Amino acid sequence: MLKKNDLIIVVIGSLLYTVLFHKNPLGINFLIFELFVVSCLLLFQHVKIKGAALIISLAGILITAFATVLVFSVWSYFVNFIVFLLFIGCLIFPEIKSFFHAFILFFYSIFFAPVLFIRNLSESRFKNKKIGIYFKKIRIFLIPLIIIFIFILIYRSSNPLFDNMLTSIGDFLNDILIKIFGRLDLTFIITLIIGLFFCSVIFLRSPYIGAIENYKKKNDVFKRIKIRIKRKFPLLALKNEYKAGIFLFLILNLILLTVNIIDINWVWFNFEWNGSYLKQFVYTGTYLLILSIIISVVLVLYYFRGNLNFYKNNRLLSYLSYIWLAQNAILAISVGIRNFWYIYYFSLAYGRIGVYMFLALTLYGLYSVYIKVRYQKSAFYLIRHNAFSLIIVLVLSSVFNWDCIIAKYNFSNYNRSFVHLNYLSSLAPKALPYLDKSLKELNNIDSIQKRKFDYEYSYMSPEEYYSKIERKKEKFKLKWESKGFLSWNLPEYRAYEELFGKKK
């Protein structure tokens, strides 16, 4: 049930959106708009902050909104967008505990909220009359106007004098319209429409009853449903499935044990770098991990999908599944150590940071599968808890200035790690203070690199890198000085002050 002031908030919000973002790059304007939205939701729509999903999503919005100004990365904006849409889904049904179902509710609301805005706008009153009445009057004259236009076209084609007269009238009206609307900015209208769309989705939320009812049927605990089906030897079939599960998990555990012993001996304690690339060394293990985790989860869910959960003698199968999950955790740690050596010898990069994020989610995913088997939890439990862990990892990762961290780390460790100048030169302008090196420094780094990494592949020379960074600095200077207050952000401000502040 919509409140009377919801429509007013949508209009004010869309106007504020237009003022903040029209011809203004992203910056502090993004934070101002999100703080306005959250404040309106809490003050005027009386949102009760309760439940883990709503609290986590709200905290995630505030953290990532400030991160867009304090960190200013594409990643922080992306994570903020994901968390915000989940927050809207939680507002539609505050009792929800699953981010997966919150996303379904938000997705539904995208299509119906604008319709709700138009409907409520037509029911609003102007001079004690509903605005919808004016729409109906316009509609009444629409068909006659179309018919008149058709006949004008017919008469113009049949009568040259009439055609010339209409052309003169058309030119006259065109001059008047250019004088009136010539200065009208089309981008302003587009920005206003986008603002209306966003605000209608945020403040005029439309509940999807079907999804809510489906969610209410979900439960964390796996329930045994007894269905009487006439079968021959049903207990024997269950025992055979149990025996097959024991055989499968026993063999898989032995295979993975062999792999883990090799990794522990070779990667954990006796790793020696022979000077070759380590890309395959890491990513082959990562792909193996992904495949192994998918198989392990699918197999465990398959064998503990039904009555085997309640089979009295399933202890051996349960223990084998625990060992299987634990061995996958050891495999995850092995990949983490591989990634450590990769960073040690070949420096930081986005993908190598992403590997650790993936490993953190993997370890929690394995733990959640163990809880599912140990305490007879449902698949809904797995989806709900792993979605929570995913959002938490995404939010935490958005508060780090990865470009600056990468640039600072890579140049600080040039004595032992490979410095990929091509990659470093592509980092964001906010990292320029760490990327800005003199030709003397670059040549010194290059001489050490050539002694340590004698590769046939041709990388960017110090001179090429220096020229590219100089061009990047000039471009950044012009762009920053053209920005207004609404596009301000901390990392670029610091970069500008460090690079050019002393020269001003």
**Residue-level pLDDT, tens digit, the chain, 504 residues:** 445 577 788 889 999 999 999 889 999 999 999 999 999 888 886 677 778 888 899 999 999 999 999 999 999 999 999 999 899 888 888 778 888 778 888 877 776 666 655 555 555 554 555 544 545 555 555 566 666 666 666 766 666 776 777 677 766 666 665 555 555 567 888 888 888 888 888 887 766 666 566 666 666 565 555 544 444 445 455 577 677 778 888 988 898 899 889 888 888 888 877 656 666 667 776 777 777 777 777 877 777 665 555 455 667 888 888 898 899 899 889 888 888 988 998 899 998 999 899 999 999 999 998 888 888 787 788 888 899 999 999 999 999 999 999 999 999 999 999 999 999 999 999 999 999 999 999 999 999 988 888 766 678 889 999 999 999 999 999 999 999 999 999 999 999 999 998 654
Instruction: Verify that 129 and 161 share a domain, yes or no.
Output: yes
Instruction: Verify that 215 and 323 share a domain, yes or no.
Output: no
Where would I find the H helices in 413-461? 421-424, 432-435, 439-452
Q: Which SS3 state, helix, strand or coil, does residue 229 take?
A: coil
Residue 404 domain flag: no
Residue 296 domain flag: yes
CB distance 79 to 30 below 8 Å = no
Instruction: Verify that 214 and 253 share a domain, yes or no.
Output: no
Q: How many CB atoms lie within 10 A of CB 65?
A: 23
Residue 227 domain flag: no
Instruction: Verify that 426 and 352 share a domain, yes or no.
Output: no
Instruction: Verify that 307 and 414 share a domain, yes or no.
Output: no
**Boundary (domain end) residue, out of 186, 220, 254:** 220
Query: What's the DSSP call for residue 430?
Result: G
Kindly report the backbone phi and psi dihedral angles of residue 129, in degrees, each rounded to the nearest multiple of 5, phi listed first.
-130, 145
Q: Count Cβ neighbours within 10 Å for each residue of 377-391 and write b for 16 or more, e otherwise.
A: beebbbbbbbbbbbb
Query: What's the DSSP call for residue 95?
Result: T
d(CA 201, CA 185): 25
- pLDDT recorded at residue 232: 44
Q: What angle do CA 111, 116, 120 make, to 5 degrees?
A: 165
Residue 397 domain flag: no
CB distance 2 to 204 below 8 Å = yes
Instruction: Verify that 254 and 150 share a domain, yes or no.
Output: no
Residue 427 domain flag: yes
Q: Which SS3 state, helix, strand or coil, does residue 130 take?
A: strand
Q: How many residues does the chain have?
A: 504
Query: What's the DSSP call for residue 438?
Result: -
Residue 94 domain flag: yes
Instruction: Verify that 199 and 242 share a domain, yes or no.
Output: no
Residue 125: its H or E element: strand 125-126
Instruction: Verify that 216 and 270 share a domain, yes or no.
Output: no
- pLDDT recorded at residue 238: 58
471 Cβ contact partners less than 8 Å away, ≥ 6 residues apart:
none
23 Cβ contact partners less than 8 Å away, ≥ 6 residues apart:
187
Query: What's the DSSP call for residue 329?
Result: H
Tokens coding 131: 């605005």
Query: Residue for token digits 């017919």?
Result: 154
Residue 394 domain flag: no
Q: What is the pTM of this model?
A: 0.80
Instruction: Verify that 180 and 318 share a domain, yes or no.
Output: no
Residue 388 domain flag: no
Query: Residue for token digits 């029911």?
Result: 123
Q: What's the number of domains the chain is made of?
A: 3
- Please report, for residues 69, 81, 204, the alpha-carbon distance to residue 95 in angstroms, rounded to integers and kept in the order given: 32, 22, 18
**Boundary (domain end) residue, out of 377, 399, 431:** 377
Instruction: Verify that 279 and 359 share a domain, yes or no.
Output: yes
Print the domain residue range for 141: 1-220
Instruction: Verify that 97 and 198 share a domain, yes or no.
Output: yes
d(CA 91, CA 106): 9
